[in-house]
Chain A
């Protein structure tokens, strides 16, 4: 610590080179690593988007997107996920100021909104399957269920992760490692919302254009 102060005094507040400043704080390293993972996840989704875009017209005489998709349902899902992203942001503010109550409240709201999103999506899948639009019916439906189902799977994993984090927070309090994990969770949740923006635009809005 003394060394750092002395160096600062010598350099008059000049920025240290990366090579001189020592290892980065663990929070930055962990979050950056998770950021790389999220980007690789987005690359995977780009492959799913590409296959959907290529196969969107390959309906094999079965139901098309325009017949299957319900825009009101998609709008509700979008609103739920956006609001849960917002409440997740408020939760990370509460975490930064180490407020237990605010964190739990944010987590509960985030969880409920995410669960409502997932319930709507599963109901939509159920209705489609009841109409005979099952994944093995056409290439379009395979691509649709893979893309949207993969996003839904991510949301489900995120919900489980949030529950685990709340248990950890209750048991261990705001330890550094718990705060780091909570921070990674909020990155994950915001990234899922970014992917949903593409899904509702490409699948639900462009998919039903005449």
Chain B
């Protein structure tokens, strides 16, 4: 089947490699590298959350970066999503999913933070009408 390589690979399949370079140990190596990287990133996440060596306000950002890195490791080494030309469809679908997830998350957080702020400003307004504070 010479034409098969012209298709995008299925998600989860490794990109087409010449038969001469393909071997069972190669696949094992890919998964093992992925496991190692993911374990290192997980351990770092737990360390970052519990250490006092890092400036405390920077910890959430650090955790976010580590989580995104680990998701990348999972995508590349476990799901074999690559930037190769035979993976375009899979990457485009993933990009669309990530876009929607980002819009849902960021949109909700921004809107709710904004609402919270506005509600608080009302409650704390000096001389607010009794109806707002619940006093009669």
Contacts and interface: CB of A to CB of B under 8 A. Distances in A.
A208 B49 contact: yes
Contacts of B56: 209-210
B11 A32 contact: yes
Given A32-B93, A197-B70, A71 B6 contact: no
B60 interface: yes
A183 B27 CA distance: 15
B82 interface: no
B74 A190 contact: yes
A78 B93 contact: no
Interface string A195-210: 0011011100110111
B39 A82 contact: yes
A46 B105 contact: yes
A28 B46 contact: no
Interface string A58-91: 0000000000000100010011001101100110
Nearest to A15: B6
Interface stretch (A16-24, A118-126, A163-171): A16-24
A82 B39 CA distance: 8
A93 B9 contact: no
Contact of B63 (A16, A25, A193, A205): A205
Interface of A: 4-5, 8, 15-16, 21-22, 24-25, 27-28, 30-32, 34-36, 39-40, 42-43, 45-47, 49-51, 53-54, 71, 75, 78-79, 82-83, 85-86, 89-90, 92-93, 96-97, 183, 186-187, 190-191, 193-194, 197-198, 200-202, 205-206, 208-210
Given A82-B38, A89-B31, 11 more contacts: A46-B101, A53-B109, A54-B109, A82-B42, A93-B28, A93-B31, A96-B27, A190-B74, A191-B79, A197-B71, A208-B49
